[in-house]
C-alpha cells in the first residue's frame, strides 16, 4: 500500500499560545473551552473528513497571564470519554503528565477510554515543564530534567505492563463450567524500579487495539531518545523544511537503533493552515491574525513559561537579557537554552527577546486550496512528516481546509477516501502490541 498522509485536529477553544486574541472573535463562543458540545462538533467534523485523531493538550498550572484557553478548560480524559460516545472512528489522544500522576491510576483511566471508544485511545506522554505545577502536588520544586525523563520511561513501561494484566481470552464467561475468569490468564506485574513500585494486576481487560497508542513530543536529545524507545506517534516541532527533515530523519534513525521498525512511529508536525480563495487573500489574513494576537505583555508572559513561569516583568526591559540559565533546567530546557544562546550571541535586550517569541513567521501552509495542497505534498515527499497536527482558529477555517484541500489530497492519492479500520492503531498502520504473557501472538487484523 502506498504511503499516505495522516491528519489530526488540535482544538484550542478560546485560544492557546499564539492565539491570545482569539476569544474576541465574534465567531468563537466565549465558553467553548468548557463546552463539550463544541468539542463533539469539532470531532465529528474531523471524522467526516477522515482525520486520524483529535488531540487535546493539558497543563496543571496557570497564572493570570496564561492564554485564555488555559485558564478555563476541561480535563482531557473526561472530555475525550464524552466525545467517544458521539464518534465512531476518530482517535482520541489526551495529554497526561508522567511527572504528576501515578502509573496505576493513569493506566486504568486510559484503558477505560480505550474501551469506551472501542480501541481509539492515545496517550500523549509529557514530563511537564511548568515548574509551578509542583506546588499543586505537595512538592517544593519541580523535578530536574534527567529525573523527569527517567521517570517517564519507567512510567510508560509500567503502564504497558499493567495493560497486559489480562490475556486477550482471559474471560471465557462459561456458565456451564462456572468460570468467568481463567485465573491462569491473569498476571500481576510486581514491578520494583527506580521510581515506582507497582504490584498490579490492573482490573480492566485489553481493548480491541491491545493498548492505547503512545504519543510523545520530544525536542531535546533526551526527548528524542524517549520517543525512539517508547513512542508510536510524535508531535514534532516543525520549523523550516530543512529543520523538519533533520528531525524526521534523526528520530527514525534513533528508532531503528533501539531495534524498532521506523515505520511503527508516526511523526506529526504542527500546522496552522490559512486557506482562502486566493494566495493573496490567505497571506493577507495570515498577517491580520498575527496583528490580532501580537500583545507585548502576553509575549513577555509566554517567554516566562519556558523558564518555569518566571516573571520577567520585574526586570528592565531594555537591559541585556538576564541570567536565568538556572531556571531552564527545570522548565523547557531546549527552547529556553536556544533563547539564552541567541540573546548572548546577539547581545539582545529582554524586550527584543520577548518580541522575538511571537515574531511574525510565514507559515508554509497558507494560500488557495491548490497552493496549500501543493506545499503539503512537497513537504511529505521531502521526508518531513507522516502526518500533520492541524490547529484552526474557527470552525469555518476547519471547513475551508476540509472542503478545499482534503479533496485535492485525495485526488492525488495522498489521503484516504475511507477509514480502513475501527481502531486508532489500525488507521495509523500500527501493529497490535503482543501481550507479553500470551502463548500465541495476536494478529493486527484479529
In angstroms, the CA 97 to CA 105 distance is 12
In angstroms, the CA 135 to CA 61 distance is 9
Q: Are residues 201 and 306 in the same domain?
A: no
Q: Are residues 159 and 141 in the same domain?
A: yes
Q: Is 163 among the domain residues? A: yes
With cell 529556553, the residue in question is: 336
Q: Are 217 and 10 in contact (CB under 8 A)?
A: no
Q: Are residues 164 and 207 in the same domain?
A: yes
With cell 520517543, the residue in question is: 227
Strand segments, DSSP code E, in 160-286 are 191-192, 197-198, 213-216, 233-236, 266-271, 274-275
* Cα Rg, the chain, nearest whole Å: 22
* Burial annotation 344-362 (CB, 10 A radius, 16+ → b, else e): eeeebbbbbbbbebbeeee
> Considering its fold, how many domains does the chain have in total?
2
User: 343: domain range?
Assistant: 295-357
Q: Are residues 57 and 205 in the same domain?
A: yes
State pLDDT tens for residues 413-436: 999 999 999 999 999 999 999 999
The pLDDT value recorded for residue 445 is 44
The pLDDT value recorded for residue 349 is 94
Q: Are residues 194 and 343 in the same domain?
A: no
List of the chain residues with pLDDT < 50: 1, 443-446
Q: Are 123 and 214 in contact (CB under 8 A)?
A: yes
The pLDDT value recorded for residue 40 is 98
CA-based torsion, 327, 329, 334, 337: positive or negative: positive
Q: Are residues 211 and 225 in the same domain?
A: yes
Q: Are 392 and 38 in contact (CB under 8 A)?
A: no
The CATH number of whichever domain residue 96 belongs to comes to 3.20.20.30
Supply the DSSP string of 193-226, one letter for each residue.
-SS-EE----SS--BTTBSPEEEE---SHHHHHH
Give the N- to C-terminal CA distance of the chain in Å, as an integer. Answer: 19
Amino acid at each position: 500500500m502506498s504511503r499516505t498522509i495522516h491528519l489530526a485536529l488540535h482544538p484550542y477553544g478560546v485560544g492557546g499560545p499564539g492565539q491570545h486574541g482569539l476569544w474576541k472573535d465574534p465567531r468563537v463562543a466565549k465558553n467553548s473551552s468548557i463546552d463539550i458540545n463544541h468539542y463533539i462538533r469539532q470531532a465529528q467534523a474531523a471524522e467526516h473528513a477522515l482525520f486520524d485523531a483529535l488531540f487535546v493538550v493539558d497543563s496543571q498550572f496557570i497564572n493570570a497571564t496564561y492564554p485564555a484557553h488555559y485558564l478555563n478548560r476541561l480535563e482531557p480524559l473526561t472530555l475525550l470519554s464524552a466525545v467517544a460516545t458521539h464518534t465512531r472512528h476518530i482517535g482520541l489522544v489526551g495529554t497526561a503528565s508522567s511527572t504528576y500522576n501515578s502509573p496505576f491510576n493513569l493506566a486504568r483511566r486510559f484503558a477505560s477510554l480505550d474501551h469506551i471508544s472501542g480501541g481509539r485511545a492515545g496517550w500523549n506522554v509529557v514530563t511537564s515543564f511548568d515548574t509551578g505545577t509542583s506546588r499543586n502536588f505537595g512538592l517544593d520544586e519541580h523535578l530536574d530534567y534527567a529525573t523527569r525523563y527517567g521517570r517517564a520511561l519507567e512510567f510508560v513501561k509500567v503502564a504497558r505492563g499493567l495493560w497486559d494484566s489480562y490475556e486477550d481470552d482471559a474471560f471465557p464467561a462459561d456458565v456451564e463450567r462456572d468460570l468467568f475468569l481463567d485465573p491462569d490468564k491473569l498476571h500481576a506485574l510486581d514491578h520494583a524500579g527506580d521510581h515506582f513500585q507497582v504490584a498490579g494486576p490492573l482490573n480492566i481487560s485489553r481493548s480491541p487495539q491491545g493498548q492505547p497508542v503512545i504519543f510523545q513530543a520530544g525536542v531535546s536529545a533526551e526527548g528524542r531518545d524517549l520517543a525512539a524507545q517508547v513512542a508510536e506517534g510524535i508531535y514534532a516541532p516543525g520549523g523550516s523544511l530543512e529543520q523538519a527533515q533533520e528531525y524526521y530523519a534523526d528520530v527514525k534513525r534513533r528508532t531503528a537503533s533501539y531495534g524498532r521498525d521506523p515505520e511503527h512511529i508516526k511523526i506529526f508536525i504542527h500546522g496552522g493552515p490559512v486557506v482562502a480563495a486566493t494566495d493573496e487573500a490567505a497571506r493577507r489574513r495570515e498577517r491580520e491574525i498575527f496583528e490580532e494576537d501580537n500583545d507585548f505583555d502576553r509575549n513577555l508572559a509566554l517567554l516566562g513559561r519556558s523558564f518555569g513561569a518566571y516573571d520577567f516583568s520585574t526586570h528592565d526591559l531594555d537591559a541585556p537579557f538576564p541570567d536565568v540559565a538556572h531556571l531552564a533546567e527545570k522548565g523547557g530546557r531546549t527552547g529556553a537554552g536556544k533563547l539564552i544562546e541567541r540573546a548572548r550571541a546577539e547581545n539582545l535586550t529582554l524586550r527584543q527577546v520577548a518580541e522575538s517569541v511571537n515574531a511574525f513567521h510565514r507559515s508554509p501552509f497558507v494560500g488557495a486550496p491548490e497552493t496549500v495542497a501543493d506545499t503539503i505534498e512537497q513537504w511529505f515527499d521531502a521526508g518531513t512528516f507522516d502526518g500533520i497536527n492541524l490547529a484552526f482558529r474557527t470552525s469555518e477555517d476547519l471547513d475551508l481546509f476540509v472542503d478545499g484541500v482534503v479533496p485535492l489530497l485525495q485526488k492525488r492519492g495522498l489521503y484516504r477516501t475511507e477509514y480502513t479500520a475501527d481502531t486508532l492503531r489500525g488507521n495509523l498502520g500500527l501493529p497490535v502490541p503482543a501481550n507479553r504473557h500470551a502463548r500465541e501472538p495476536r494478529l493486527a487484523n484479529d
